[in-house]
């Protein structure tokens, strides 16, 4: 695996992600923002943030598989949530937890969470982009 995730001394430990991602591979993979579409382009989990987060993570894994990798190769995530408010955090975590269970991983790469006014399709509540490094 080309990614080592750490929480350096002097930075707070956060349960859901690590502060630093150390990449030692040679192939960078940039995944376009993934939304809650199934293989046919149909929105999954309309109105359900947790289900949409789960689908985004599964789509990222599918994209990485197409590049010869897996979610374990993710170095950084950027999460865009429509009308973000802190009370949505449990739903975000629920979706991540369900995706992690399906993928058999502990997805804790560094992440940035941004609240946005809207996404490309009104039914989409979240979009997640990823950067990965493959050996």
pLDDT tens per residue across span 80-96:
999 999 999 999 999 99
Helix (H) or strand (E) holding 135: none
What would the pLDDT profile of 44-90 be if each residue is shown by its tens digit? Answer: 999 999 999 999 999 999 999 999 999 999 999 999 999 999 999 99
Maximum alpha-carbon separation in the chain = 46
35 and 126 Cβ atoms separated by less than 8 Å: yes
Pair 3, 70: CB distance under 8 Å: no
């Amino acid at each position: 695996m080309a990614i080592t995730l750490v929480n350096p001394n002097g930075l707070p430990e956060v349960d859901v992600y690590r502060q630093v991602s150390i990449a030692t591979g040679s192939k960078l993979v940039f995944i376009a923002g993934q939304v809650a579409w199934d293989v046919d382009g149909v929105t999954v989990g309309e109105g359900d943030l947790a289900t949409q987060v789960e689908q985004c993570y599964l789509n990222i894994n599918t994209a990485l598989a197409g590049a010869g990798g897996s979610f374990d190769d993710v170095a950084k995530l950027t999460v865009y949530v429509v009308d973000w408010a802190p009370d949505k955090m449990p739903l975000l975590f629920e979706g991540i937890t369900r995706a992690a269970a399906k993928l058999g991983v502990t997805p804790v790469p560094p992440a940035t969470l941004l609240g946005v006014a809207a996404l490309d399709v009104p039914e989409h509540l979240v979009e997640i982009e990823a950067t990965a490094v493959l050996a």
